[in-house]
Amino acid sequence: ARVTTIMAILKLNNTTVLTETNGVASIPSTVKFPAGHVIKKHYVEYNSQYQDLNCLNNLIYLNFQLDINPVSENSKFFIIANINAAAAMQHNYLTLRLYQTSPVNILLRGVQPMSFSYPYTFPTIMTYHHTPNTNNLITYKIGYIDTNNDSGDLYINQYNTNSIVQTTSINVFEFAS
């Protein structure tokens, strides 16, 4: 029996960028990806139900966070926060907020959740393009505040019964710059 091995090498300007042997492709570690290439994905989920039936005008953080050690000081982040939330109908001044809490505390984005007369939660999406310019640990958190101090209700990850739990998450795509 005769075995035929086919090997392919892709070079750009005499630099090997891709090799293939027997159907298996590989990229050498010396290849530098262009700006805009995703170099790492970071992710955290919050699977617990949460209720605050007396929201006031003070910032509260949900009990989860995403800690990131950037691959490069020049990395850029595209953040997608998916928060399953609802506020009681009379609660029109509640704001969900995305924060960078480390190395410094910065409000990145805020949005009001949908308001309904039942505690059904719906996806509230926040996106943000962030350039932290650091190699230090970065922490992202989701918080909320009632800017009108009207003592309304907030529900996170909960349907109208406690039997169904939804998920809130923070996704960060780290890009080469």
Pair 150, 91: CB distance under 8 Å = yes
**Rounded Cα–Cα distance for residues 166 and 168 (Å):** 7
pLDDT score, position 111: 79
CA distances from 61 to 40, 88, 98, 118, 132 (A): 26, 19, 10, 23, 21
pLDDT score, position 104: 81
pLDDT score, position 5: 63
Q: Splitting the chain (177 residues) into consecutive groups of 10 residues, what average pLDDT does each group show? A: 70 84 78 81 91 80 93 91 79 78 84 63 85 92 80 74 77 91
Evaluated on CA atoms 61, 66, 72, 78, the torsion sign reads: negative
- The angle formed by the CA atoms of residues 79, 125 and 138, to the nearest 5 degrees, is 25
pLDDT score, position 26: 81
Amino acid in position 152: G
Cα 136 to chain centroid distance, Å, stands at: 18
pLDDT score, position 162: 63
pLDDT score, position 1: 63
- Helix, strand, coil % in the chain, rounded to nearest 5: 0, 55, 45
pLDDT score, position 130: 93
* 117: number of Cβ within 10 Å: 9
Q: What is the DSSP letter of 32?
A: P
